[in-house]
Amino acid sequence: MNKWILGSRPRTLVAAVAPVVVGSALAGNDFNWFRASLALQVGVWLQIGVNFANDYSDGIKGTDTDRIGPTRLVASGLASANSVKLAAYFSFLIASIAGLWLSLLTSAILIPVGLLAIAAAWGYTGGKNPYGYQGFGELSVFLFFGLVATVGSYYVQTEMITLLSFVVAIPMGALACAILMVNNIRDRTKDEVVGKHTLAVRLGDTKARLAFVVLLLIAHIAALATLIPVALLTLLAAPITYAISKVVLSGVSGKELIPVLGRTGQLQLIFASLLALALAIH
């Protein structure tokens, strides 16, 4: 596989796609394919930028040495630190262009929101005091890949913000957090050694695993809280939720958790598709 495709970590991109799908479905008759595609570009390239930025920052800090999960470009020597940093900048630039275009079509308020998203993307593991090393990664993911991405996708097509747009954003944020959480559970022991105090490290193994399951349950509960009868369709994903939860609660660790990361991403995509279908039917 091309090293740059590998470094972009394609499996994580579902966290960027899912909220756009849900927000666009909620737009209903106001659905605008062009604005939706721009929103998708913002989300996907922001996620790719986050991945390259993390690769660069963790690589130069030495916290990716002897990594269990997917290969990192800098730590493995597949690419230089500067080239990975440039890849992150390029990704943020594409996201910025798409975001600026959307702001010209809708509202200038999207510009500061976009700048905050990029700052959060870089600050996760970059800089002197990365907030991801202090256990705030999940909070940022919930805000930007949950609330902002979903409500934003709805807003750029309808130019409105509703309570329902926030409610349907909750499952997207919770599932995106679950992806990060299981990733950090997998790396918890090594992260603790190098001083990377993720939420999983702060909670400890048992509580982190319970938190992962709670995030999945929040997604299901929030979908039902829409009070849309056809939102019961999301319960079709419950067997997957149960299966993943069972594996995580069983105590498996290290490489055994790698497939769970992929399955959690699949769960978010399936869940988003079912919720989007319910919103479209409603």
Q: Give the pLDDT of residue 68.
A: 64
Q: Which tens digit of pLDDT belongs to each residue from 215-274?
A: 999 999 999 999 999 999 999 999 999 999 999 999 998 888 989 998 999 999 999 999
Give the integer Cα–Cα distance in Å for 232 and 160.
Answer: 26
pTM: 0.93
Its sign, for the CA torsion 14, 15, 16, 18, is: positive
Q: What CATH number is attached to the domain comprising 255? A: 1.10.600
Give the integer Cα–Cα distance in Å for 212 and 257.
Answer: 13
Collapse the DSSP code of 66 into the 3-class scheme (helix H, G, I; strand E, B; otherwise coil) and give the result: coil
What total of structural domains would you count in the chain?
1
Q: Give the pLDDT of residue 194.
A: 81
Q: Give the pLDDT of residue 145.
A: 93
Q: Give the pLDDT of residue 222.
A: 96
Residues 6+ apart with CB under 8 A from 230: 277, 278, 281, 282
Residue 154's domain spans which residues?
Answer: 3-281
Angle, CA 263 vertex, CA 153 and CA 276 arms, to 5°: 30
By the 10 Å C-beta count (0-12 exposed, 13-18 middle, 19+ buried), 214 is classed as middle
End-to-end CA distance of the chain: give it in Å, rounded. Answer: 42
Angle, CA 164 vertex, CA 171 and CA 152 arms, to 5°: 75
Q: Which amino acid is at 101?
A: W
Mean pLDDT in each 10-residue stretch from start to end of the chain (282 residues)? 80 91 96 96 94 87 65 81 92 96 95 94 85 91 95 96 96 96 91 88 95 97 94 96 96 89 94 96 86
